[in-house]
Structure 1
């Protein structure tokens, strides 16, 4: 590639345990790759190539959608759109962060952990952005100004910290206790999703019992929830590679499918939010005050600061040779 010879690829038994993926037997990059090697590896078939591109390309799709919204809406001057802006910024950030994590995770065992720490932090902030949007645009009519509505975003801030903390901690026990690690990481992302989706679940349930009229927004919400559960299934099951180890090392393994489903879920979530935002504007503006700067940008800034603090806390043992309270990730 570009006249530069890439390091050879390795089989699973040739790389440290921390780099190994369940049922992926070949295609591993050199565990001490340079940053340039990592970038070039995205143009060379290995078991991370599709993982990189399935988040790099969607990043630019979401950036394009944000640019389109900026040209058609007053996202800076109209306070009603501020929750959408906060959400869309995080929708653009999380796939790019994941793309970088998969790209540079082969530089060392420490860099691998730190890369994924930032990946988890971006995902938890995305869940916070979803909660900000849902709290403003998606709440069921009967829940407006109720206890959950008033406390929805503050609880989501706590959930984002829980998500980042549990997922980062799961990396410290991954080698010695893989099942515990998988359980912790699954719970870390399932809890914020389930909480954020409570308004959606309720509205879909009302439609199931015939107490609402089907709409484009609810159809998009249904697609998003279905794809989100499929994403969780792929993440936890490691199918199809678990059925045929080595057959899906480069194409078609669960993490690639997980990326595709997650991005599609985000697309339908974005469409649902946009539908609710436009169709329910009169109702929502009559029900309460307009979104405020502290309630959108302020909450987002607080979430970023708190999550960066969590990342610094969990990253400290990786940068220090001194004994620490956590188990140093095995290699």
Structure 2
């Protein structure tokens, strides 16, 4: 009987089975060994692995040899954002970029008027030294001016401290300063009797926003939204794709869609603000780039599009999409070649194209890791450099967008 019992115990493999059959003495000791075994298994299971140990769907760059996460549970995958592996910098370069553009969006929403009043021929200084009532005495001689009494009644609830604050557009005020004060308020005659020395700074600040009429901002915010979506989608993809083949399939499609969104929306500010006075060309260019972006996103949904063999095709498709912006830029220069704003924005757009172009070349050639495989596993490999160049290009385009807003706020059509 004892031999038979021992034989039965020998056939059992797990601690739990042996404990249930009474083959081991000391239940606490059994549970301790079980817990220790599970902890050891988790420690081994969540170790970083090398390239040759990866499943096929995670094999993308054979020049990065180690420090891979492979099929980790979702919790551990999320927590790996705070650990070191070959995707850490891929995650953080675009996550930081996302928060950068989120901050820029909030800033632009709070300060929608980006016009630099100092560029209006020292206009604020003139207003500080000008008697507002004396300025208004010139208004009756100017044609098509609104009734001051009606405007005073309209604005007095909002500005109770001011007796007269007409709703003057930029054109009216510029005409007023040009026709009514050609000599008396020149820079060499600030001691004129009509200078109001006690005029307060807050009065100037209330008058200054009336110097221009801000144009619509939706193309600019569309670009900012596209940039944030692209950066956040990319960061999320690099963080979660190691969890499972199914999640990797979804995340990669989200990533490619984000790239298409960034490229498409990048054209909205230059096209809209360059051709806002020419609706036909404005709608033509915006429609074309929107359709192209949607088509690129749909092609990105094809499973074969994700394979490493299509790396060059992916880069070429997105690069070609970006090159489609050459036509509206050249058209803009033909129409506004004498405007400094057109030249300034074109310079920023060329710089943006250089950043994106270099990023695409680095992405395709996998430089520098192909020169020394394994050396750049953690930091410095091509995809990290690509991410940095994308953020730099998008920020350059943001600066160009500010110039477009300033230009159209001042000039209009």
TM-score of Structure 1 vs Structure 2, range by shorter chain: 0.7 to 0.9
Provide structure 1 residue ranges, at least 5 long, that are not aligned to the other structure: 287-331
Counterpart pick for 1:12 among 43, 51, 67 = 51
For the Cα contact (< 8 Å) 2:252–2:306, is it kept in 1?
Answer: no
TM-score scaled by length of structure 1: 0.73
Residue deviations 1:301-320 (CA, integer Å, cap 9, x gap): xxxxxxxxxxxxxxxxxxxx
SS of 2:329's equivalent in the other structure is helix
Residue deviations 1:66-99 (CA, integer Å, cap 9, x gap): 1111110179x96611211222122222101111
Q: Compared with structure 1, are the counterparts of its residues 99 and 133 closer, same or farther at alpha carbon in structure 2 (3 Å cutoff)?
A: same
For the Cα contact (< 8 Å) 2:305–2:314, is it kept in 1?
Answer: no
Aligned to 1:295: none
- List aligned pairs for 1:309-324, cutoff 5 A: none
Counterpart pick for 2:278 among 139, 145, 153 = 145
Aligned to 1:235: 363
Q: Distance in 1 between the 2:214 and 2:367 partners?
A: 45
Aligned to 2:319: 190
Aligned to 1:161: 294
Provide structure 2 residue ranges, at least 5 long, that are not aligned to the other structure: 1-41, 115-212
Residue deviations 1:212-263 (CA, integer Å, cap 9, x gap): 7585433322321211111111111110011111111111000000000000
Q: Distance in 2 between the 1:154 and 1:248 partners?
A: 42
Counterpart pick for 1:53 among 74, 88, 92 = 92
TM-score scaled by length of structure 2: 0.60
Aligned to 1:270: 398
RMSD (Å), alpha carbons: 2.9
SS of 1:37's equivalent in the other structure is helix
Aligned to 1:321: none
- List aligned pairs for 1:19-98, cutoff 5 A: 19-22=58-61, 23-30=63-70, 32-73=71-112, 80-98=216-234
For the Cα contact (< 8 Å) 2:95–2:232, is it kept in 1?
Answer: yes
Higher relative contact order (CA 8 A, sep 6+): 1
Q: Distance in 1 between the 2:269 and 2:291 partners?
A: 16
For the Cα contact (< 8 Å) 1:130–1:196, is it kept in 2?
Answer: no
Residue deviations 1:237-292 (CA, integer Å, cap 9, x gap): 11001111111111100000000000000000110111122124455x42xxxxxx
For the Cα contact (< 8 Å) 2:319–2:357, is it kept in 1?
Answer: no
Residue deviations 1:104-126 (CA, integer Å, cap 9, x gap): 10111121121011111122122
Counterpart pick for 1:172 among 294, 300, 304 = 304
Q: Is 1:124 matched with 2:260?
A: yes
Structure 1 residue 33, shift from structure 2 partner: 1.4
